[in-house]
Amino acid sequence: MSSQTDNVLRRVEEQDIGFIRLWFTDIAGSLKTVMMAPAELESAFEEGVGFDGSSIEGFSRISESDTLLRPDPSTYQPLPFDEDTGIQTARMFCDITMPDGDPLYADPRHVLRRQMHAAREMGFEFFASPEIEYYVVKTDGEGGIKPSDKGGYFDQAKRNEAPKLRREAISALEYMGITTEFSHHEASPGQQEIDLRHTDALTMADNIVTFKYLVKTVAETNGVHATFMPKPFPHLDGSAMHTHFSLFEGETNAFHDPDDEISMSKVGRQFIAGIIEHAREISAVTNPWVNSYKRLQFGSEAPTAATWGISNRSAMVRVPTYRLHKADSRRIEVRSLDPACNPYLAFAAVLAAGLKGIEGGYELDDPATDDVFALTRRERRAMGYRDLPGSLDQALRFLEQSEFMAEVLGEQVFEFFLRTKWDEWHEYTSQVTPWEIEAGLDL
């Protein structure tokens, strides 16, 4: 037993924990949980917890269904909301292995671990800091939904519950050791944003999964619903998960160069170039839903082309110019990601693309200075910009032709992801919508 596991066992006893929730996600990013009594925890650390991997879509074939959950003691945290019930629970994220101890290659955490190991082999640690947007909605009385408030960008919104819900969500996050930086009302009615302080990408992916659980729980206890759907309303802004990324070499920010006009190092420029070069191949992973492309095509300030810019919020990759002299602040912001993505897979894809740019010595083109979103497709092409996929269909076509992404995801995840997403696309396109009925019934 390691000192970390000993510490967890001691804390469980001291905090009078009644149940432990072992957390993991499936390939789509949906949270799964196994509940156990504290008496079983020492055995779980030593031997793992067996479960039927074939029951989780994409994990194991029926002939290889015996899999193990391996609790990660570094992720132990008591959960809020239970203190008043008299039964305190805690959670730990798990890695998933085969009985012989080999990692399950379909485990999303392992997909990200592999890429972070590749970065470490090159001398880098990978950090992430997301700005997570979401809507709080309620029923409209007619079987649909409507925004829970009428606020706008940065509104104090004293006459509705938006600030209260954000405060409760932030308190729950802080209770679990997840540090927030800022929160505010976003541009559209009912739309909120909470930003998380940067940490290593694996911890941040765990934090995002926890974030969704906590925000949804807070909303439900207040009689409303929180949704991370990229574009739930056709005439309101889409919800993004703009994410700031950086590489560090020990204590040194590898993206910082004080002699560069925007303080961006050669490594940083190559990392950006890798993301731009492979942008279309990773889109199905960073934007995995049919609805994701409603935001990209019809949202405000959503990236429509594989471009980068200096302070340009219409570019796919933005280089912020705040505090250029401060080395620790040098970072890039990838604006294509949305909150529907599985953060483990999305972060792995972005990191792998960036590392490919460094390894290959990719050259970065001139930055976009236009409002790329406002340009027509013809204008974008005339300027040499490559369009991002405009639908899940297009994104999947780029993905299935990508040997690069097959290697990043691993064969099992790659094949399962494509199969399930093609099924999703075919189910979507087979529908006859009310718009079609209204437009065509009387022709």
Binding-site residue ranges for L-glutamate: 295, 301, 313, 335
User: What sign has the CA pseudo-torsion 177, 180, 184, 188?
Assistant: negative
Binding-site residue ranges for Mg(2+): 131, 133, 186, 193, 242, 333
Helices (H) and strands (E) in the chain, counts: 14, 17
The CA distance from 274 to 356, in Å, is: 6
Do 146 and 157 contact (CB within 8 A), yes or no? Answer: no
Q: What is the DSSP string of 353-383?
A: HHHHHHHHTPPP-PPP-S-GGGS-HHHHHHT
User: What sign has the CA pseudo-torsion 33, 135, 288, 281?
Assistant: negative
The CA distance from 197 to 207, in Å, is: 10
Task: Please enumerate in sequence order all residues whose Cβ is within 8 A of that of 86, keeping only pairs 6 or more positions apart, or say none.
Answer: none
Report residue 270 as tokens: 């190559």
If one counts every other C-beta atom within 10 angstroms of the C-beta of residue 161, the result is: 16
Strand 317-319, strand 332-334: pairing: antiparallel
At residue 162, φ and ψ (nearest 5 deg) are -55, -50
Binding-site residue ranges: 131, 133, 181, 186, 193, 242, 244-246, 295, 301, 313, 333, 335
Binding-site residue ranges for ATP: 181, 244-246, 313
CA atoms within 13 A of residue 251's CA, in its CB half-sphere: 0
